[in-house]
Structure 1
């Protein structure tokens, strides 16, 4: 399985979009503890959105599509729709 995910940091008030072929929880842990660069500036990242894909190329394409929007409003609409599809999340 491959995942496209969006992280949010309350401290930075920023979103991060990425993809992984591993476990989401492990990827989040790495962003919060061992990661350098954009997500290394803070350690309070939380997963606010994810989509599941069966192949790497589809996940990469979706990640690129979300990033190409360059829109916080678009990201927040995705997150709102995700929340309504996953009660209790």
Structure 2
């Protein structure tokens, strides 16, 4: 199983979008283990959306959608308001 996930940094008002087959370890990497890269700068992260798929291709397609302008608008207008 593959998942597409959206992370949000409330402190910095930043989004991070990715996909993986191991969400727990990937999140742990973003949150604690990584020593360089985008996610290190904007900790702490919170998982605000997870979409599950049977294939890597489907997960990648959803990731690409979320990274598009329409997808980011969807996240900001439909997903983020749940947390405020």
TM-score (norm 1): 0.77
Q: CA deviation at 1:78?
A: 4.2
1:49-88 alignment, distance < 5 Å: 49-69=49-69, 72-79=72-79
Q: Over aligned residues, Cα RMSD in angstroms? A: 2.1
Report the count of equivalent residues: 81
TM-score (norm 2): 0.81
Tell me the equivalent position of 1:28: 27
Detail structure 1 runs of 4+ shifted over 4 Å in the superposition: none
In the alignment, structure 1 segments of 5+ residues that lack a partner are 84-89
Q: CA deviation at 1:4?
A: 0.3
1:15-64 deviation per Cα after TM superposition (whole angstroms, max 9, x unaligned): 11110011x22211110112221111032101000100000011011101
Q: Residues 11 and 44 of structure 2 are in contact (CA less than 8 Å); yes or no, is this contact kept in structure 1?
A: yes
In the alignment, structure 2 segments of 5+ residues that lack a partner are none
